[in-house]
Amino acid sequence: MSFKETIQSNIQLSYFEGQIPVNYQYTLGVAGNKFFETLKQKGEFIASVCSHCGVKTIYPLIYCEECFNPIDTYVSIELEGELYSFTKCYRDYQGNTYDEPHVIGLIRFDGIKGGIIHRLNINEKDLKLGIRVKAKLKPTNKRTGGLDDIVCFEKV
């Protein structure tokens, strides 16, 4: 209803097809590797701890964003945190409608800077900011050392 111009598609103009023919292989990084290896092996989250200013950060970093000193200390933290915000999404990034809406949340952990963005599996009536949630992990033998080792977050 809001789009007034008449040309709705490039195929109504003269056009040609193009693409950027590349793929990528991203390393996890030093801190990222520690995080996802720990998740895979032990089923735990780790945060980095700055020994200069004390700030703890998740996902962990090898340098402190606050005081710019190097970090070499990492600690395990609870899989449980607080739901800081959430959204129910109806379309994917190409504009296609999902079969089921995806519910995504930002989870914060007590006393720790940062958070984890992930899927939520929580009843509609319980979905509120501030509720306690906990990560549900894949079984050990199914974990690959990536974000999908976390299945979702559920209400505690």
Query: Is 101 strand, coil or helix?
Result: strand
Binding window for another protein (CB under 8 A); candidates: 45-53, 73-81, 82-90, 135-143: 82-90
By the rule CB under 8 A, 100 interacts with another protein: no
Contact of residue 9 among another protein, Zn ion, none (CB under 5-8 Å per partner type): another protein
By the rule CB under 8 A, 20 interacts with another protein: yes
Binding window for another protein (CB under 8 A); candidates: 38-46, 68-76, 84-92, 132-140: 84-92
CB of 14 to another protein, least distance (A): 8
Whole-angstrom CA distances from 114 to 36, 47, 108 are: 16, 10, 7
- 127: exposed, middle or buried (Cβ count in 10 Å: 0-12, 13-18, 19+): middle
Give backbone dihedrals phi and psi of 49, rounded to 5 degrees, phi first.
Answer: -125, 125
